[in-house]
Chain A
Amino acid sequence: MRDRPNSAELLEIARARLFEELLPALPPEYKYSALMVAAAMGIAIREFENSDEAEIEERNSLKDLLGTDDSEDITLLDLNRQFAAGLRIGKYNKSGPDHEIALHLLRRVTLSKLGESNPKYLAETE
């Protein structure tokens, strides 16, 4: 078992140090870089905090949608490949039975990714 603090906790305190101590002391031409560093750390923190839950859910939904055998050991990457290939040929267009399920999946995964990559974007959009 690893010792605490865990990676998110470490990144969080490191990010706080960056904002409180380093950023104010940096010459203006480096501030943008520092903000980029902070942004990258922020994404990593949120990703860690979400753990693998979102991806496990995504995997289950994809297996349902694609009718993958439960016992099959198929990766999330492969499931998404199949899903993407189906989308390309119009398998989930309006007339298809799986239309709503597919769209629901697209919505949920996108919102989950956005919540990790740029939660402010959603807040500003709403």
Chain B
Amino acid sequence: MTGDDVNRRLAHFIAAQSGADEARIERNDLLVGGAIQENRALDVELVGGQLSGVHALVLRTEALSSVPETRPLGQQFAMLSAAYKVGATVPEPLWYCGDTVVTGRPFYLMRRIEGEALGSRVVRNAPHIDLAQRLGEELAKIHTITPPREDLHFLEHPLDSPAQDSIAKYRAYLDMESEPHPVLEWGLRWLEVNAPNSHETVLVHHDFRTGNYMVDGEALTGILDWEFAGWSDPHEDLAWFCAKCWRFGSSFEAGGIADRAVFFDAYEEISGRKIDRDIIPYWEVMAHVRWAIVALHQCARHRSGEEPSLDMALIGRRLAELEYEILVLTGVM
């Protein structure tokens, strides 16, 4: 199918969904930065209907190969919609299409937001107090989404506890690896022994960190990358945001942009939930183990020949940094 065919079918789909008489696609360019999913920038002119006018959109297409835990696009759309409805700053989700006839793969459209997401640039000139507070508030809003939810019926509930479930999942992944990873095994055993006894269950974003939100100057324009979201302990998101692997070399512990207290206080103010600060380091160990597992998986895509890539090859060599942090956090180093 040619690009013209795709654009014609896409325009037809958009016109039908938006109630316009006609949709004209003025621009359809590949956006860089989506390591897993393909994102395209679309400028669409709608003629007639309530949304008449020109719209800047993003077309997100189902990935060809997947990273573990990546949710199908339709589910991502449902979670993005749920977050949008509770007032979180996310790109407005517009229409999902599971029919592969239109572009060859499932896709959805959302409004395009502008700004900078690159972690190393966002942390520059830190601290960014307002931004850290805002992100604390945003996460609190996201965490107001709790089970049961009809619109999120596809999300699995933890069988045991979110921590024990993750430990079992990561061990199963390590069992598929061709090489053993003693430090990760050590970390997982530590996590097993020290797992929290009780937990709340909320919708966690599961990748809420610097690099996954967009800013325009100091202002937040949107929280991105919802493909890993699911039910878990809210502390998991809070610790992921603060984990050393997501500070981009900055000395500020909350996402490289501010002190933890700034982020935590803002979160508590909106959520009314008291953060258990003693359990945060536990979830930071989990964060490093989880990132290590993802790194191994990405590297495996390179090594298997499925997707040869220098970037993914080098991610495999970042394992030592993560293992070092696991040893530090568990008191070994």
A residues lining the B interface (CB < 8 Å)? 33, 36-37, 39-40, 43, 77, 80-81, 83-85, 87-90, 92-93, 103, 105-107, 109-111, 113-114, 116-118, 121-122, 124-125
Total contacting residues, chain B, CB less than 8 A: 27
Give the shortest distance, in Å, between A109 (CB) and chain B (any CB).
Answer: 7
Q: Answer whether A40 and B314 are a contact pair too, CB < 8 Å, given A80-B182, A110-B323, A114-B321.
A: yes
Q: Beta-carbon contacts of B74-110 to A below 8 Å, as 1s and 0s?
A: 0000000000000000000000000000000000000
B321 & A81 in contact (Cβ 8 Å cutoff): no
Instruction: Give residues 304-333 of B contacting A (CB, 8 Å).
Output: 310-311, 313-314, 317-321, 323-324, 327, 332-333
Cα-based distance from A124 to B321 in the complex (angstroms): 12
Residues in B whose Cβ lies below 8 Å from that of A87 = 182, 185-186, 189
B180 & A80 in contact (Cβ 8 Å cutoff): yes
A107 & B333 in contact (Cβ 8 Å cutoff): yes
Cα-based distance from A99 to B128 in the complex (angstroms): 43
- How many residue pairs link A and B with beta carbons under 8 A? The number is 80
Residues in B whose Cβ lies below 8 Å from that of A122 = 324
Cα-based distance from A37 to B311 in the complex (angstroms): 9
Given A39-B314, A110-B323, A111-B324, 7 other A-B contacts at CB below 8 A? Answer: A40-B310, A84-B180, A88-B189, A93-B193, A109-B183, A117-B321, A121-B321
B318 & A117 in contact (Cβ 8 Å cutoff): yes
25 contacts between A and B (CB under 8 A): A36-B310, A37-B310, A40-B313, A43-B317, A77-B179, A80-B182, A83-B182, A84-B180, A84-B181, A85-B180, A87-B185, A88-B185, A93-B189, A93-B193, A105-B182, A106-B182, A107-B327, A110-B320, A110-B323, A110-B324, A113-B320, A114-B320, A114-B323, A117-B321, A124-B249
